[in-house]
Every structure is written in C-alpha cells, then in structure tokens.
Chain A
Amino acid sequence: MREQIEVIVAEDNIVQRAYMCRLIESIGFTSLKLIEAEDGQAALELLKTTRAEILITDYEMPFLNGVELTRATRSLDLDHYVHIILVTGTETDGYDVRADALNAGADDFLAKQHDQSALKARLKTAMRLIRHGKELEEQHRVLKEANDRINEDLAAAAHAQRDLLPDINTNILGADIASAFVPSSVVSGDMFGCFPLNDSQIGFYAVDVSGHGIRASLLSVAIGYLITPEFFTKSVLDDDGTPRPARLVRELNQRFCTDAHDDYFTMFCGVMDTQRVKLFYCQAGYPSPYYVDARGHVTPIGDGGFPVGMFSGVDYEDGNIDVDLDGMLLCCSDGAFEAENDEGVPFGEQRIEAIVKEIYHEPADKIPGKIIQALADWRGLEPLEDDLTVVAVKRNKL
C-alpha cells in the first residue's frame, strides 16, 4: 500500500475550506489525507507537527497571508519538502501575487474558481514530485549505507595496517626510533619496520609502493607481513654477521617482478651495526635518507638504485658509511619532498635539509612531528597527495 500523503488546506473562510476539501475528496485520490487549517498561523503550526507534504493555501488570510505563509514554511527546518500550491484570485488589482509567491518559494498556483480538473492536475503533479523525491531519498539512503560500510571497512584496514608498524616511539639496543605515518587517504602504500637482529645490530626498512590508496596498501601490507625479523636476518646477514642488505632487495625484486602490472615499490633498507660502528644499506629508488653527525653535518645516503619489482635481473648494491654513535638517521618518503604549497612548489630536498639542521639536536621523539608540522605549514590548505612516512633513529642519551 502506498504511504499516505498529508495535505494541509489553509483557508480562513470555513465554507470555502469545506468546499475545497470536498472537491479534493471527490477527485478520489485515496492516498491523500486532508488536514484543515483555519488560517496561515494554524497552517504553519500544523506543518511543524504533521508530516504534511502538500500545502494548498489561500492568499487572503488573517495573521499570515498565503505568500507570508509560503515564506515562513521555507524557513522551517523540515526534513522533507513541502509542495505549496497558492490559490489566487482575490488579491487587489495590479499586484503581481504570482511573482511575489514564486520568490517566496511557491511551487504552483490554482485559480479561485475551483475548477476540478485543474485541481486534479496540480495534485497529480505534486504527488509525482513527492514520490520522485522519496525515490531519490531512498537511493540516497542505500548509497549512504553502502558508503558507511566501505568507510568502516577502510578504517578497520587502516587499523590493521597501523598494527603492523612499530610503535611510534620505540627503543631498540639503546637507539630511540620515532616515526610518523600519515596516509594520504585512509590506508597507505608506505610501510616500514625495524627490529633487533641480535645484540649489536638493528635491521630496518622503509617501503613506498607506487601510487597510493587501497591498491598500493594491499601490496604494502603484504610486504609488511613478508619481511619478518627472521626473514630479514636470513636474507641480509652473512655467515660472519656482515650485513648485505642488497641480498634482501634482490630477493624481493625476484619475488615481485611480473609483467602483469606496473606496480612496484621503492625501498631503503639497512643495518645499524653498533659493533662495526657502521650503517650498512641498500637503496632501491627510495629517497636518500639523511645521516646527521653530532656536529649537525647533514649527508644524504646513497646515490640511487632501481625500484623493486620494476625490472627483473637488475642488480642492487650494498653501501656503508661510518656512523658516529651520537648521530641521527632520518628517512622521509617522497611524499615529504613532493609536498607542494598552494603555488605548486614542492618542499624539496633543500628545505628538508635546512629543517634537519635546525632540529637534529632534539630527542628522536620530537623529530618526526616537527617535520610533519613543517610540511603541513608549507602545504597550507593543500591536501597531502602522497603517503608520508618519517622515521628518525638516534641513540638515546644516558
């Protein structure tokens, strides 16, 4: 059964009102339920307390005339639309009530002569529009429900992804490791990990899957699950314990190279070796991290390397640098360098280096937040276009 549509008939003259109601009833629309209002003010009250969707109002009424009632109705905060038909014919000569009423928000007009077929046509129009509105409303509800479900799923996925990452602040073998992880959408194509390999070596990696959003996040999470500390140790450490991170990258490249798609990832991985007092690394297209020594001297690490999963058979190189135990290692994903201000100027390496020089003496846990803040200031209202990861590694002062 079709839902009833409530119709308010506003007319101060009781005879005219009764006549209008009989006329509507005689048309025989069973889905209409009539509600009588003895003037404009009463009609306005009824609009607030009923679900009326059609208002047929006379123009000439005490307190509120038809145009004033129309205007007042439009300013009500109702959760449904009211189709307003103004009955005209009694107004003074020369006054263009229709223009005034249209401006106030009236939808249709009916001449006072009470022509049944004209009334029927107008009611049919009103009912058609109301039904159409209800269909749209229903579609909107279904879409919103689907959208809510997708958002819930995404939030759960983001949570699962976050759980794969190390704690924002963690301490491994006397080094403070602080990170910030900012997806450009809910989930991220960035991933990183760090863990002790034994009592003198810390292994770490940072990965940035090409593209961003859900597709990139699927691969980044797969990588996150794959590179366990055991997997890392087995791939990277030589028999004598010398780190060879390029072996891990070669292995991943072999595993992820396929002609089926253009997805790939960039990576930087390495081992901080506290006995050899060196950082061993392999760079695979990931932006060069910075090493900052105790005097604040900033050095970009590495001179490039092929991304992983792009070309099979390409080789990767091991590199190493001497580190000062009071130095800091800082990794930023390309989202940091590429963040643009409102004039389209990217933040760039020089600005990152300048900030690093300013803040390197701060404790590790302050560093990522300061870089994220500098990037936010730079972007202003521009949204983050790519996922952003910042990781700072620094020996904690005793």
Chain B
Amino acid sequence: MIHSTQTDGGITVVRPGVERLTAINSKAFKDEVVALIDAGSSELIIDFTSTTFLDSSGLGALAGVLKKIGHRGELAVCGLGSEVMQMFKICRMDKVFSIYPDEAAAIRALSEKS
C-alpha cells in the first residue's frame, strides 16, 4: 500500500497511499514501513499530504514505527492536514514527532541533521 522513494542523500520518503489510515489498514502500513527500516532505511519522512484522516489505530501504528526506529535513526512527518494536526496536538504527538509543513522542508531539515 505504501509508496516510498529515496533521495540522493539516502532519506526515505514514504506516502501511506491511503486517504484514511485506520484500523483497516494501519497494520499493513506499519509492517511495510518496518520492512523498510529492517532493510536499512534509518532516515524516514512520512508524508501525509494525501492522507486526510488518521484514527487511533493509525496513530498507534505511527507510534510503533517511531519506537522501531528509536535512537538509531530519524523519523519526521509532514503534510499534516488540520484534522490530523488537531489529533497530534491533543495526544502531544507534536512533542515526539518532528513535524514539517511539506516534504521539501522535511528533507532539508533531515539533511542538515545528518
């Protein structure tokens, strides 16, 4: 389901490929992103531009990915719509995820860090 590309600097950009990340597809989403991490991706950006809704299971999957990367890499999210952002705020996810307005800003920030 996910669509991933790699930048020249080795950053993996993931688009979930679904409009709604929910109980129905969040496990597949997590499994696929974890497979990327297992295959060696350590700097990831998840772009939610085309994903307008995230339910509690979707958020759980995203937190699972963050825990999987842990201190061994970087995970950033970008393109959060107002509803997703609201959910991030109420759950304080803005304190644990690096959030950027769009892919370009996220790539720039991650490139500077490494």
Contacts and interface: CB of A to CB of B under 8 A. Distances in A.
Interface stretch (A18-26, A119-127, A303-311): A303-311
B91 A210 contact: no
A304 B92 contact: yes
Q: How large is the interface on B (under 10, 10 to 19, 20 to 34, 35 or more residues)?
A: 20 to 34
Query: DSSP majority for the A interface?
Result: loop
Given A338-B55, A346-B83, A262 B64 contact: yes
A262 B30 contact: yes
Contacts of B64: 262
Nearest to A284: B91
Q: How large is the interface on A (under 10, 10 to 19, 20 to 34, 35 or more residues)?
A: 20 to 34
Given A210-B57, A211-B60, A212-B23, A259 B91 contact: no
Nearest to A349: B86
A285 B92 contact: yes
B63 A264 contact: yes
Interface string B22-58: 1100000010000000000000000000000101110
A262 B60 contact: yes
B3 interface: no
Interface in A264-303: 264, 266, 283, 285-288, 303
A270 to B, nearest CB: 16
B57 to A, nearest CB: 5
B61 interface: yes
Query: DSSP majority for the B interface?
Result: helix
Given A262-B63, A311-B63, A311-B96, A208 B90 contact: no
B108 interface: no
A306 B60 contact: no
Interface string B54-95: 011101110110010000000000000001000001111001
Nearest to A300: B90
B60 A264 contact: yes
Given A285-B90, A287-B90, A210 B59 contact: yes
A310 B23 contact: no
A304 B92 CA distance: 6
Nearest to A215: B23
A318 interface: no
Q: Which of A264, A286, A334 has the most CB of B within 10 A?
A: A264
10 contacts: A211-B23, A262-B61, A285-B92, A288-B90, A304-B91, A306-B91, A306-B95, A307-B59, A310-B63, A314-B92
Given A210-B56, A210-B60, A211-B57, 5 more contacts: A287-B90, A304-B89, A305-B91, A334-B56, A346-B53
Interface of A: 208, 210-213, 259, 262-264, 266, 283, 285-288, 303-307, 310-311, 314, 334, 338, 346, 385-386
Interface of B: 22-23, 30, 53, 55-57, 59-61, 63-64, 67, 83, 89-92, 95-96
